[in-house]
Amino acid sequence: MKETMTSRERVLTTLDHRIPDRVPIDLGGFQTGIHRKAYEGLLDYLGLEETVEILDPVQQLARPSEQVLRRFHVDVRYICAKGPKGFDGTIKQNERGGRLWHDLTDEFGVVWSMPDDQRLYMDISHHPLAKATIDDIAEYVFPDGADHTRFEGLRQQALRMRRDTPHALSTGIGGVVYEHCWYMRGLQQWFLDMIENPALCEALLDRMLEFWTGYYTGFIKEIGDIVDVVMIGDDLAGQHGPLFSPAFYRRIVKPRQKALVRHIKSLTPAKIWYHTCGGCREYIPDLLDNGIDILNPVQTSAAEMDPERLKAEFGESLVFWGGGIDAQHILPFASAEQVRDEVGRNLQIFKPGGGYVFNNIHNIQAGIPAENIVAMYDTAYELGFYN
C-alpha cells in the first residue's frame, strides 16, 4: 500500500470516474463533519489536546484540526464565504421559561435556538414568514446574495490553500433553494402550502433562487478557477422515501434547482455535489438531469438505497460521496470489529471503477464511540487502495 497521488489528484481522478491510487477520504464538512461532543471524545481517545472550534453552531459541528485530518488521511479541505458586512451572526443568550437559551438569527430572519442545559443542536424557534401572504413575500427584505463583502479575501485564501497544500478544495454547503423556504414558513405550514397554495411556494422559491443566483455569481467569480467541488443541497427524502409529492418536486422545485445548477456550471468547471438525506432513489434521475455530478450522503439504511443496486444503476454517471457505514445502527451501537466489517463490505461495492469518496453517512453524531470512529477511518484507508 503506497500512495502515488496527491490528495487533489486522487479526488479529481475519482470525480472523473477513473481509478486513483486509493479511495479519497473526507471529514470536516457541513454534511461530512463531526459533532462537537464526538470530537471531544475522539481527542481524548487519541491523546490530543486542542481548543475545539465550532464550524457550524446550528449542527454543533467541530472544525477538525489539521493534526486530526492528517491522522485520518483526509483528502478534502473546505473554503466558505462569510456573512456580509453589518450582519450580526453572534449567538445571544436569553432567559425563557426558566432556561437559558442560545439564540442565533440568520440572514433571512429565521431564529435558531438551543437550550444551555442540552447543547446538542439548534432548532428553529421563529419562522419569520409563518403568516405571510404572497404580497408579504414580495415585500420582505431578503439579504443580498451578491453583496461583495461576503467574498472579501476569499480569492487570496483559496490561492494560499492551492499553493501551500496538496488537498482537493471544496466550498461549504449552499444553494439551499427549497429547504430554506420552509425554514422561513414553518414545516407544517409549508406542507399545507404545497397542497393549498402552490403559488405562494413558487413566489418564495423564486426569491430564494434569486438570492442563491446572486450569491454564486459573486462566490464563483472569486474562486471558480481554483475550487474543485461546489456543494449544494436540499433534503428531498426521509427514511421511507420522498418527503413530499414527486409531482410537486418535478413541477415546481426541480426547475429552480436546475436553473441554479446550470448557472453555477456556466461559471466554473468544478463538479457539483448535491446533498439529500433519506431514500432518494426516486429523485436520482432528476438530479442527474439537473446537472449534478456527486450524491451525498448515500443513506444506505433508507428505503431503495441498497448500495449494490445504486452502484449498478448509477455508478457510471454519478459519484457517490458517503455511504461508508450505516450511521443509524452500526456506527453508534456495534463493536469496532463490526464497524470494520461494514466499511469493508461497502468499499467492495462502491470502490470498483472509481467514482467513490469515502465518508460516514452524514455527520458523526454525539455519543458515537471514539474507537468506532477510528476503526471506520482506519479501515477506509487500509482497504481503500486499488493496487
- Can you give the residue ranges of every domain in the chain? 7-85+132-382
Q: From CA 328, how far away is CA 361, in angstroms rounded?
A: 9
Would you give the DSSP letter of residue 324?
S
Report the sign of the C-alpha dihedral through residues 49, 35, 71, 10, in that order. negative
Strand, helix or coil for residue 275: strand
Please answer whether residues 170 and 79 qualify as being in contact, where contact means their C-beta atoms are separated by less than 8 angstroms.
Answer: yes
Please check whether the domain covering 7-85+132-382 is classified as CATH 3.40.228.10.
Answer: no
Q: From CA 237, how far away is CA 112, in angstroms rounded?
A: 22
> In sequence order, what E strands does the chain have?
54-56, 61-62, 76-79, 92-96, 99-105, 111-115, 123-126, 168-174, 229-233, 237-238, 241-242, 271-275, 294-296, 319-321, 356-357
Amino acid identity for residue 135 in this structure = D
Side-chain-side CA neighbours of residue 370 (13 Å): 14
Produce one character per residue of 121-146: b if its CB has 16 or more CB atoms within 10 Å, e if not.
Answer: bbebeebbbeebeeeebeeeeebbbb
Report the sign of the C-alpha dihedral through residues 11, 17, 18, 20, in that order. positive
Q: From CA 278, how far away is CA 41, in angstroms rounded?
A: 27
C-alpha cell at 357: 469518496
Q: Of 289, 266, 35, give the one whose Cα is nearest residue 274.
A: 289
* pLDDT score for 387: 82
CA distances 267 to 13, 211, 271, 295, Å, are 21, 16, 11, 21
Q: From CA 333, how far away is CA 339, in angstroms rounded?
A: 9
Question: For residue 291, is it left (φ>0), alpha (ψ between -120 and 50) or beta?
Answer: left
* pLDDT score for 313: 98
Max CA pair span of the chain:
62
* pLDDT score for 195: 97
* pLDDT score for 3: 97
> In sequence order, what E strands does 57-167 have?
61-62, 76-79, 92-96, 99-105, 111-115, 123-126
Q: From CA 248, how far away is CA 255, in angstroms rounded?
A: 11
pTM over 0.95: yes
Please answer whether residues 57 and 91 qualify as being in contact, where contact means their C-beta atoms are separated by less than 8 angstroms.
Answer: yes
Please answer whether residues 293 and 271 qualify as being in contact, where contact means their C-beta atoms are separated by less than 8 angstroms.
Answer: yes
**What is the DSSP annotation of 20-56?**
-SB--B--SSSSS-BBHHHHHHHHHHHT---PPPEEE
Please answer whether residues 61 and 29 qualify as being in contact, where contact means their C-beta atoms are separated by less than 8 angstroms.
Answer: no
Please answer whether residues 275 and 232 qualify as being in contact, where contact means their C-beta atoms are separated by less than 8 angstroms.
Answer: yes
Q: From CA 247, how far away is CA 74, in angstroms rounded?
A: 39
Strand, helix or coil for residue 125: strand
* pLDDT score for 12: 98
* pLDDT score for 336: 98
> What are the residues whose beta carbons fall under 8 Å from the beta carbon of 378, sequence distance 6 or more?
72
Q: Of 244, 136, 113, 270, give the one whose Cα is nearest residue 187.
A: 244
Could you state, in chain order, the average pLDDT of each consecutive group of 10 residues for the chain (387 residues)? 96 98 97 98 97 97 98 98 95 96 98 96 98 98 97 97 97 97 98 98 98 98 98 97 98 98 98 98 98 98 97 98 97 98 98 97 97 98 96
